[in-house]
Structure 1
Amino acid sequence: MSAPEREHTEGAGFAAYVFDAYGTLFDVHSAVRRHQQALGAHHQAFSDLWRTKQLEYTWVRSLAGQYRDFAALTEDALDHCLARFPQIDRGLKADLLHAYRRLDCFAEVPEVLTRLRARGARIAILSNGTPAMLEDAIAAAGIGSLIDDVFSVDALKIYKTAPAAYALLTDRLGLAPDEIAFQSSNRWDIAGAKAFGFTCHWINRSGAPDEYADLAPDAILPTLKGLTT
């Protein structure tokens, strides 16, 4: 059965469910939406570019061995966007950065995490975000009581998809890769996690075409609800 046809089976018995944060639990475009009127007609293109550059900078920094933390890269990417869209008021920068620290979580997140915890599974985050960024996002979403562990690659000074980033989970949780289910909306992240040996669920919210065929997810789900149904 091909990956798009696979369905998650409830009761799979994973000891831990680990989630990427940005784009998976938290809506990365909600920061721009809060200031949509001020940003004007180009708000979606602006938001897409901000996200693209933010990720690009993590890969370039990791390959070059020149780590710069995710908060700094988020600001660097925003500066690039403001330069690319000179019609947008640079005075919005502080407001946009503040909004990014307090992103909306996707609507299904609290219920899904609650149901997974009821199975006895451990719930964790593995993110490129700094500890302070993740603390702010979790608090703003009100989901702190549903998460057991938060792991940031900042401890390693290298970004996903470096194998060392995924090894944080096996090392800190004391679990084998096949005891961990890993969820991400980022296909490149799923590829890295699959290469490491996790069972992977790609949360394909946008209906994007698949890629990295040799590192296929174990399931493709439109939202996190598919983990509990």
Structure 2
Amino acid sequence: MLPQAAQANDPTDSSRVRTAHRRIVFQFDNRYSILDGQLVGINGLKLAVEWRGRLRAGAGGYLLSNGIPSQEVVPFGYPSGTTAELRFRYAAAYVEYMFIRTNRWEMSAPLQLGGGRFFTSFEQPNGNKSKDAKSTVWLIEPSVSGHFRVFPWFGIGAGAGWRETLFVQSSLDEALDGPIFYGRVKLFLGDLYKTARFKRKLFSQQHFRYDQ
């Protein structure tokens, strides 16, 4: 093991490197939720700026991974055998405060404000498709999330929150309000690059050691 003075000057050890004032953060934000009483997957992409390792602000876009089979009766005028699926997509601005951040742990409180469209897609037996009128939806999503680094380049995380729609009809409130939750595996590409560049052991714990 290196002496403390040598560790402080060791360029391969990033545990004591100061966080940049600003950096760009890109994230796949895929989660699960309850919509219209059914468990669904929602795929998302987020881009943000992070300040001093504590605050992130940015925007993202989301859509259902698949349509939700509608529980409502198909409207009059469609032939027998017509199927109906609910569709939902939205964009959101968000801020995220990291109230715990160490080499191992990160806990944060994201808050999203967004707007989008909710509509029903119909498919007739002959393959013809159509949509009903789209409803504009406004929403707010508070949540709590965190991750644990198993290795410098690899971590596991989870999060949970609530989606609340605003300024919409009560029927949409019932269909769209609900919990959001996820579990995910995280790859920290910067640390993976450093592991390869400085020829560290892939499963080393050196990054997490502190001076005594």
If the length of structure 1 is used for normalisation, what is the TM-score?
0.25
Q: Which has the higher strand share?
A: 2
Q: Which has the higher helix share?
A: 1
If the length of structure 2 is used for normalisation, what is the TM-score?
0.26
Structure exhibiting the larger radius of gyration computed from Cα positions: 2
